[in-house]
Structure 1
Amino acid sequence: MKRLLYFFSILIIIIATGCSRTPKDGTHTITICTTTDLHGAYFDSLYNEEARLSSLANVSTYIKQLRSKGIKPVLIDVGDNLQGDNAAYYCNFVDTVSEHVFARAAGYIGYDAIVVGNHDIEAGHQVYDRFKEGKIPYLAANAIVEGSNEVPYFEPYTIVTRKGVRIAIIGMTNANIKSWLSEELWSGIDFIQISDIAQDWVDLVIEKESPHIVILACHTGYGHGAPDIENEALYLASGIRGIDLVLSGHDHRPFADTIENPAGNVLLINAGSRAALLGQAIFELEFSGGEVVSKRVTSRLIPMADVEPDPRYTDRFKKDFKAVYEFANREIGTIAEEIYLADAIAGPSSYIDLLHKVQLDATGADISITAPLSSRGIIPAGVIRYQDLVLLYGYENSLFVVELTGKQIKNYLEYSYYNWVNGIGPSYNYDSADGIIYSVKKSAPRGSMVEIISMKDGSQFDMTATYKVAMNSYRASGGGNLLEQGAGVNPDSLPIISRYGDIRSLIGDYISKEGIIVPVTPSNWSFVK
């Protein structure tokens, strides 16, 4: 708390307080609406002729419907908006001059606050720093200036007023960012675990601002009711004093229910992902003598598929859609046969073979390590367009070349395949390797599953030798714990030899160079009984 008070002594926060009059005695109804994890769902299209999807166009209609009834909702997004779709990619890395379409769309719809998500940091300083300077409060109280006395890098909170009712929105981002992203993306920022700092911020905001409703909006998953650096929404809702509502995200797990809290029950809402749902909380506050004497709250998750897209929103952003559509539909090559992404979960697959070829071709590394980032869908035979690359590689990971010893590579693969065979964790942590010949014995005990026979060219694989290994930035930063718990390597001390561009673009470059891709199921490794 002392550090937060120090922060307030050196920095004046500009807060949108609106009208500061005291609410009249009687019942006041406040509507809170929330989205989260939009992942680029700015437009209701996959940029082809397939069925339309829910998007911010549907959200715009719903919010307008509320306003037409005299309801002015407080609208909050809980992060991860700047990654996951070609619209986000185009605005982040292609058209870097125009104001970002999400900033303009959020302004048009009338968002009151946006929380920083981990994938928003993945877009890089050149993208999220522009949001930091934007008109809509961009919140993350637990993202602090590196080396400071916990001075927030982004705005920590904002105050919104509706008919004299003061609503505090305290934002927090996911604190595990450094384990997933390479340093150049978050340089100058440290991240504090939400549960370590949330109570201090709530207490301070209540003391300084005297809000009538306190919202803790955190880009964190549901969790298991205990402190956790990545997923602790349930823990926050059940233990933080002085809050009325926790808005969460990150794990794409829709949820809306009341959580028991010793200081008074707290509502927890997660609106899922990609604008499929909109979360809504309706507070009824009874005022007497200028004080809140009772609070009642109801909640629901509203399917946006039941709401028509806003034609005025669509018209307003039609030029942006056209630019993204043309970008996404550029032909980059041809594929001779279908690629079934689900094959990558069963064993060697043409999907993962393509990723390995791209990584080895781009880097000249000795060994490539990668995992399936998509486990559903088909890349059909025929022309490949840039839009197809989002299905092949849905994240903006960059490509690294690192140094690992033969023993570290073997231990790394042991950890990966133990989890893979036993269905532990998500499939995007099921790494395989190219550049070596090996087998995986499913029935063998942990630590003895992987037998590395040789390098792919037939030369000896040496446990004591050092090899150049191509892997994505998520993995090189410690994502999935394969380096630390598998190879026994602290990601902070991992020797990084070189860095390349984002892997999705490298895939596009490789396909364009080759012209025709003939999918091949690799034979350098296999599962054995």
Structure 2
Amino acid sequence: MKRWTVAPLSLLASSLILVGCASTGTQYVTDQEYRLTLLHTNDNHGRFWQNSRGEYGMSARMTLVERIRMEVEAQGGSVLMLSGGDINTGVPESDLLDAEPDFKGMTMLGYDAMAIGNHEFDNSREVLMKQAEWADFPFLSANIYLKGTNKTLFPAYQMFEVQGNRIAVVGFTTEDTQKIGNPEFISDLEFKTPIEVAEKLIPALNKKADLVIAVTHMGHYDDASFGGNAPGDVSLARAVSGIDVIVGGHSQVPLFKPDVQNNTLILQAHEWGKYVGRLDLVIKNGDITGYDYKLIPVNLKDRVKDDAGNSSYVLQEAEIAQDLGMLAMLSSYQKQGSAALGTVIGQSDGLFVGDRNIVRNSATNLGVLIAKAQMVKTKADVGIMNSGGIRADMEAGEITYKDVLTVQPFANILTYVDFSGQELTEYLTAAVNMAAGSGAFAQISGAEIRTVAGKITRMTVAGKAIDMNQSYRIAVNSFMASGGDGYPKISDHANFVNTGFVDADMLVEYIQNNSPLSVSDFEPDGSLERM
């Protein structure tokens, strides 16, 4: 139950004018200590339901959140619950329902505000506005403008009064959305630089508020080393004074303790509701005088082996029961989503080969299809797929969502990195030397490589020799990027980008946009020739 008042804001609010906020004086009692608990998640990506091991899910999150609320309120404190955005795009049961279960689940959980993430623009504006109606909390972003106007798409901020303390919650969205978002859905929008907007807005908010909390979807990059990404939370905190707390998202990292920059506490709770972040604040005379922080795992399990070498999964902490009310609400959506997996998404004129004994030993049309789809989605020069991630043939005729999930069941995330020509050469050399017969065997699109006795004799990209001084983009899945199957780890590269798109969803989109598929268009044609 919420214990504060909210100053209403219009849907289209100027990001630089404090709309709907009375300029009231201080309401707290001088020298009295107040306790405020911030709960937060980010990058939900459709995971309203627990996984096959019973990890995370909104039903268990509900039990945890209600338990914390009761504890805090019994001690005279208050709770604000925030999200760092990217509710959309992740699993088909959610995607096929426009994330309705996720937003309605968040409403039941009592979220107070969320940042707009880049994946909120994976769908049409009509869907986004429908999602805003499902949520009884505001979507916030101070730097997304309607082109040619001084109006933001959603409110820039929301004012809360908590036990006499005036709290401004302001939203910011990565400016990278302009280049990684779907142009069809963002062509009428301008994504201004968050720091540029914050430099004007934060001082104004500090005149009206006792605390300023930024809920962001910009990413946390250690020591502001954001590489090929847009600047993130660390850059924002260093550039703009006066932000007390940043509740972040986008980079999907777990911060087990706040990153303190320029007197700003920066938080992030990994992804998918795996954790609920809990920041307990002590506030006195409008300042934070103490805090305690923890990421609370939501039924996360560690894989362990016994003395006989048998593997099992063990809970990290005591099991959190599922809230029955939330479970009942979500169950109907889970059933709807599962039924929708039979939806036909396209068709093909022949067999796409993913049989284990073939795909792990030679280039196949299905391997090329997946690698090419990765290239198209990321605008990459080269796409590589590890054959162990291809789990079945895709038969001729109608193709369903379920067929794609059978081929790519692991829910890996599409990633990319911008390499120099030298780096690309080194990576491709490692890829083509992955052993035939293993899951590491490379399926390639965009590059043609010939090897003789294990040595590369020819390597081209788009038909041209690799220029060591040129930049090339390579797209791989998150498993490979993190070093899986023995591939070089690139997830720590300065130019690495996690797109947030699930591999199966990426393939579905490609099939939908290019159906009917002709197998002749995806023949390997010497993409990897071993002599």
Structure 2 length-normalised TM: 0.66
Structure 1 partner of 2:290: 296
In the alignment, the residues of structure 2 paired with residue 335 and residue 164 of structure 1 have an alpha-carbon distance, to the nearest angstrom, of 64
> Is the counterpart of residue 450 in structure 1 residue 457 in structure 2?
no
Q: Decide which of 412, 424, 428 is 1:421's aligned counterpart.
A: 428
Deviation for aligned residue 1:249? 1.4
Structure 1 partner of 2:485: none
Deviation for aligned residue 1:313? 0.3
Q: Decide which of 507, 512, 522 is 2:511's aligned counterpart.
A: 507
Deviation for aligned residue 1:29? 0.8
In the alignment, the residues of structure 2 paired with residue 19 and residue 86 of structure 1 have an alpha-carbon distance, to the nearest angstrom, of 49
Change (3 A) 1:195 1:374: farther
Structure 1 partner of 2:316: none
In the alignment, the residues of structure 1 paired with residue 127 and residue 423 of structure 2 have an alpha-carbon distance, to the nearest angstrom, of 33
In the alignment, the residues of structure 2 paired with residue 236 and residue 34 of structure 1 have an alpha-carbon distance, to the nearest angstrom, of 19
Q: Decide which of 76, 80, 88 is 1:82's aligned counterpart.
A: 88
> Is the counterpart of residue 140 in structure 1 residue 150 in structure 2?
no
Equivalent pair of 1:279/1:300 in contact (CA under 8 Å): yes
Structure 2 partner of 1:353: 368
Equivalent pair of 1:35/1:77 in contact (CA under 8 Å): yes
In the alignment, the residues of structure 2 paired with residue 225 and residue 509 of structure 1 have an alpha-carbon distance, to the nearest angstrom, of 40
Question: Which amino acid letter does the alignment assign opposite residue 79 of structure 2?
Answer: P
Question: Which amino acid letter does the alignment assign opposite residue 62 of structure 2?
Answer: S
| Larger deviation, residues 29-38 vs 228-237 | 228-237
Question: Which amino acid letter does the alignment assign opposite residue 369 of structure 2?
Answer: L
Equivalent pair of 2:353/2:366 in contact (CA under 8 Å): no
Change (3 A) 1:52 1:156: same
Change (3 A) 1:313 1:452: closer
Deviation for aligned residue 1:87? 2.7
Structure 1 partner of 2:120: 120
Q: Secondary structure at the match of 1:197?
A: helix
In the alignment, the residues of structure 2 paired with residue 110 and residue 373 of structure 1 have an alpha-carbon distance, to the nearest angstrom, of 41
Change (3 A) 1:157 1:452: closer
Q: How does 1:241-280 map to 2 (within 5 A)?
A: 241-262=241-262, 264=263, 266-280=264-278
Structure 1 partner of 2:282: 284
Structure 2 partner of 1:371: 383
Structure 1 partner of 2:65: 63
Change (3 A) 1:418 1:340: farther
Structure 1 partner of 2:3: none
Deviation for aligned residue 1:126? 2.0
> Is the counterpart of residue 221 in structure 1 residue 219 in structure 2?
yes
Equivalent pair of 1:18/1:160 in contact (CA under 8 Å): no
Q: Deviations over 1:314-366 (max 9, x none)?
A: 112222121012113669999875469997xx995665323378899x9xxxx
Equivalent pair of 1:116/1:138 in contact (CA under 8 Å): yes
Equivalent pair of 1:239/1:261 in contact (CA under 8 Å): no
Structure 2 partner of 1:456: none
In the alignment, the residues of structure 2 paired with residue 15 and residue 347 of structure 1 have an alpha-carbon distance, to the nearest angstrom, of 65
Change (3 A) 1:275 1:412: closer
Equivalent pair of 1:36/1:275 in contact (CA under 8 Å): yes
Q: Deviations over 1:427-449 (max 9, x none)?
A: xxx99537x9664899889xx84
In the alignment, the residues of structure 2 paired with residue 40 and residue 352 of structure 1 have an alpha-carbon distance, to the nearest angstrom, of 27
Q: Secondary structure at the match of 2:257?
A: strand
Q: Secondary structure at the match of 1:421?
A: helix
Deviation for aligned residue 1:237? 3.1
In the alignment, the residues of structure 1 paired with residue 101 and residue 451 of structure 2 have an alpha-carbon distance, to the nearest angstrom, of 47
Q: Deviations over 1:40-85 (max 9, x none)?
A: 011124xxxx433312222211111122325342111101111111
> Is the counterpart of residue 389 in structure 1 residue 404 in structure 2?
yes
In the alignment, the residues of structure 1 paired with residue 357 and residue 140 of structure 2 have an alpha-carbon distance, to the nearest angstrom, of 40
Q: Deviations over 1:277-296 (max 9, x none)?
A: 1111110112xxxx336521
Change (3 A) 1:282 1:357: closer
Question: Which amino acid letter does the alignment assign opposite residue 86 of structure 1?
Answer: P
**Which ranges in structure 1 are unaligned for 5 or more consecutive residues?**
1-6, 93-98, 363-367, 398-410, 425-429, 454-460, 462-470, 473-500
Tell me the percent identity.
17
Q: Secondary structure at the match of 2:149?
A: coil
Deviation for aligned residue 1:123? 1.9
In the alignment, the residues of structure 2 paired with residue 16 and residue 137 of structure 1 have an alpha-carbon distance, to the nearest angstrom, of 18
Q: How does 1:31-46 map to 2 (within 5 A)?
A: 31-45=37-51
Q: Deviations over 1:240-259 (max 9, x none)?
A: 31122111211111114344
Deviation for aligned residue 1:101? 2.4
Structure 2 partner of 1:205: 205
Equivalent pair of 2:444/2:528 in contact (CA under 8 Å): no
Q: Secondary structure at the match of 2:153?
A: coil
Equivalent pair of 2:15/2:152 in contact (CA under 8 Å): no
Equivalent pair of 1:19/1:163 in contact (CA under 8 Å): no
Equivalent pair of 1:253/1:272 in contact (CA under 8 Å): yes
Deviation for aligned residue 1:35? 0.5
Equivalent pair of 2:47/2:272 in contact (CA under 8 Å): yes
Deviation for aligned residue 1:37? 0.5
Change (3 A) 1:342 1:204: farther
Q: Deviations over 1:110-151 (max 9, x none)?
A: 1000111111112231222334455311011111111224x3
In the alignment, the residues of structure 1 paired with residue 424 and residue 171 of structure 2 have an alpha-carbon distance, to the nearest angstrom, of 38
CA RMSD of aligned residues (A): 4.9
Give the number of aligned pairs: 429
In the alignment, the residues of structure 2 paired with residue 17 and residue 70 of structure 1 have an alpha-carbon distance, to the nearest angstrom, of 29
Change (3 A) 1:341 1:169: farther
Deviation for aligned residue 1:24? 6.7
Structure 1 length-normalised TM: 0.67
Q: Secondary structure at the match of 1:69?
A: helix
